[in-house]
Amino acid sequence: MANREDIRNIAIIAHVDHGKTTLVNELLKQSDTIDSRKDIGDRAMDTNDIEKERGITILSKTTAVKVGDKQINILDTPGHADFGGEVERIMGMVDGVLLVVDAFEGTMPQTRFVLKKAFEQHLTPIVIVNKVDRPGARPDEVVDEVLDLFIELGADDEGLEFPVIFASAMNGTSSMSSDVADQEHTMKPVFDAVFDTIPAPVDNSDEPLQFQPAMLDYSDFVGRIGIGRVKRGTIKVGDNVDLLKLDGTTKSFRVTKLFGYIGLDRVEIEEAKSGDLIAISGMEDINVGETVTDPEHPEALPILRIDEPTLQMTFRQNDSPFAGREGKFVTARQIEDRLKRELHTDVSLRVVDTDQAGAWLVSGRGELHLSILIETMRREGFELQASRPQVIYREVDGQLSEPFESVQIDTPDEYSSTVIDSLNQRKGEMINMEAVGNGQTRLTYMAPSRGLIGYSTEFMTATRGYGIYNHTYAEYRPVIRNWEPGRRNGALVSINQGTTSNYAIMGVEDRGQMFVGAGVEVYEGMIVGMNSRDNDISVNVTKLKPQSNVRSSNKDQTASIKTPRIMGLEASLEFLNDDEYVEVTPENVRIRKEILNTSEREKSAKRRKAATN
């Protein structure tokens, strides 16, 4: 059977921040795709504002570059573990992978994770050692690390013969040599390696149609859009086809629109055939893993696995005293509609109604997955409240089990004992500890997910910001009993509503760390700081200095308060205890107690204490 030599389908995979999005950008610039006069910026593939700010890829992107009369379809995949399910599904759409590895950091946990998925699909790899111009770069050692990783993951002899290209995507240079002096301003070695190494798709376009969406998109104009690869046959606009559903039923529909990809654009096309990566609309309820087939030959493709959620939070309508002041969308109906709209495209998300009015249980793949959803909604003008993240327990082989994660940490040697102590307290089990040179220690742990909730802030403090912390979901294991992680410090809670004053904060700040400065509006039950001890304290932060006609001393006039700790969304979620919520609006992130009234809250705490004794 002939192959389609005119196209190649590849995924680009890497650990977070190893430069794959920058590399795709450079491939676009140096191909025959985009007008050379058009400025596409530094990270053209990251179109989402949050992606640009954080420098991470959240949503998979499809692009295509023209090289002469040939085309390379490229899928830029997320590098973070919370979006690993998407990486896995994408592997079924391609024939090879570009593995990008930082020439300084080398192989990291996510490198292992995505590469393992690629080997499971028997994909052909090309290795790109990026950032060769970085200070401290060690490209030859990194190639050895990659080789060790390939062997460890069970690559066959053929898989170990991978081509290696050395590059600086930021500068648009590459070379087959590890010597930085040999870098040339071209991406030709990459293009050549793709066409020489990655298998061309089989051309079976004369056989009955099979198409399977691996990703979903949504448009207000055409509804749900299935994105995937034509596995077999040909599909045209206007064709009548069958959709073989996951529940075993069949639905017939007419193809209303087909889209292909070129450069950064999704363009309408009339026809696609085996090997093409396309998007298809016309079926409102199409889902990932279903099969679009020829009605005369309804053969289903194997169902794609979708990662189950491991973490859940309660989202609820904002009911604080400041509710409705800052947001555009504040009602329960608007929040519910928005969450349901997210389900159109995010297959790893679950949303369930609760018995509480205006509250939903939202489950996802991790803290980042859910916090990005909240941040996106906040920027769209929503107000809402979210509870502390909780892990999802499951019954596995008759035992109550909880999710565990594989943790890899790189830390300066002088902080390693502090990090080890902190992970031991969170019930982490050390797997390996090794010196990696340059005064750095690499620690590998297996730890329960609930012990890692809120850990990143503690870790960055412990390593003075010099440590690198990565974690990937590993498996479910039997629950660790008689242990409940949580915040060790109590909260400083406002007893009234008003505007904070310098005078009041000066009287409170020796109790702990403040989250608000002077001139900030607060309400009763709002958390304004962290107590240095383990109990909550009700404080007055709005009190004004008594006025008298005696002139104050110069010292008193110039007294100032300490700079408060600014609590962003993720820091606030990590801080929460079970009886607290984070209030999120387009303008502010506030932390509050579930029961705002001070006396009612204290009575409730006494009842809880009596019940546990």
CATH of the domain at 464: 3.30.70.240
Tens digit of pLDDT for each residue in 330-350?
A: 999 999 999 988 887 787 889
Q: Is residue 17, in this structure, part of any structural domain at all?
A: yes
- Residue 23 sits in the same domain as residue 143: yes
Answer with the one of 141, 167, 197 that is the final residue of a domain. 197
Q: Is residue 387, in this structure, part of any structural domain at all?
A: yes
Which one-letter DSSP state was computed for residue 38?
S
pLDDT of 183 over the 60 cut = yes
CA 441 vs. chain centroid, Å, equals 26
Cα separation of 218 and 281, whole Å?
9
Cα separation of 149 and 101, whole Å?
12
Q: How many CB atoms lie within 10 A of CB 449?
A: 22
CATH of the domain at 98: 3.40.50.300
CATH of the domain at 325: 3.30.70.870
Answer with the one of 391, 416, 448 that is the final residue of a domain. 391
Which residue ranges make up the annotated binding site for GTP?
17-22, 130-133
- Residue 418 sits in the same domain as residue 461: yes
What's the first-to-final CA gap in the chain, in angstroms? 75
- Residue 137 sits in the same domain as residue 160: yes
Residue 398 tokens, joined: 């008759």
- Residue 237 sits in the same domain as residue 364: no
pLDDT of 37 over the 70 cut = no
Which residue ranges make up the annotated binding site?
17-22, 130-133
Q: Is residue 202, in this structure, part of any structural domain at all?
A: no
Q: Is residue 306, in this structure, part of any structural domain at all?
A: no
Q: Which of 60, 84, 85 is nearest to 73 (CA)?
A: 60
CA 212 vs. chain centroid, Å, equals 24
**Inter-helix orientation angle 109-120/84-91, to 10°:** 30
Note down the domain range covering 325.
311-391
Q: Is residue 299, in this structure, part of any structural domain at all?
A: no
Tens digit of pLDDT for each residue in 100-144?
A: 898 888 887 667 767 877 888 888 999 999 988 888 889 999 999
- Residue 181 sits in the same domain as residue 35: yes
What pLDDT score was predicted for residue 551? Answer: 55
Tens digit of pLDDT for each residue in 188-218?
A: 899 999 999 999 998 998 999 999 988 888 7
- Residue 134 sits in the same domain as residue 246: no
Q: Is residue 414, in this structure, part of any structural domain at all?
A: yes
pTM of the shown model: 0.75
Contacts of 346 (CB under 8 A, 6+ apart): 373
pLDDT (average), residues 474-502: 89
- Residue 464 sits in the same domain as residue 344: no
What pLDDT score was predicted for residue 310? Answer: 85
79-88, 153-162, 185-194: lowest mean pLDDT where? 79-88
Q: How many CB atoms lie within 10 A of CB 173?
A: 20
pLDDT of 85 over the 80 cut = no
Backbone angles phi, psi at 459, to 5 degrees: -65, -45
- Sole residue written with tokens 């019954």: 395
- Sole residue written with tokens 């499971």: 120
pLDDT of 41 over the 80 cut = no
Confidence of residue 45 (pLDDT cuts 50, 70, 90): very low
Produce one character per residue of 79-101: b if its CB has 16 or more CB atoms within 10 Å, e if not: bbbbbbbbbbbbbbbbbbbbbbb
Cα separation of 63 and 228, whole Å?
13
Higher pLDDT, 505 or 468: 505
pLDDT of 39 over the 50 cut = no
- Residue 453 sits in the same domain as residue 378: no
Computed over every residue of the chain, the mean pLDDT equals 84
CATH of the domain at 527: 2.40.50.250
- Residue 226 sits in the same domain as residue 91: no
Q: Is residue 470, in this structure, part of any structural domain at all?
A: yes
Helix H or strand E segment including 318: none
- Residue 286 sits in the same domain as residue 317: no
- Contact in structure between 443 and 421 (CB atoms under 8 Å): no
Tens digit of pLDDT for each residue in 384-404?
A: 999 999 999 999 999 999 999
Q: Which of 67, 113, 121, 77 is nearest to 98 (CA)?
A: 77
Tens digit of pLDDT for each residue in 267-312?
A: 889 999 999 999 888 777 788 888 999 999 888 888 877 777 889 9
pLDDT of 182 over the 60 cut = yes
Go through the chain and tell me how many residues it has: 613
- Residue 178 sits in the same domain as residue 190: yes
Please tell me the total count of domains within the chain: 5
- Residue 135 sits in the same domain as residue 273: no
Answer with the one of 145, 166, 197 that is the final residue of a domain. 197
CATH of the domain at 227: 2.40.30.10
Q: Is residue 301, in this structure, part of any structural domain at all?
A: no
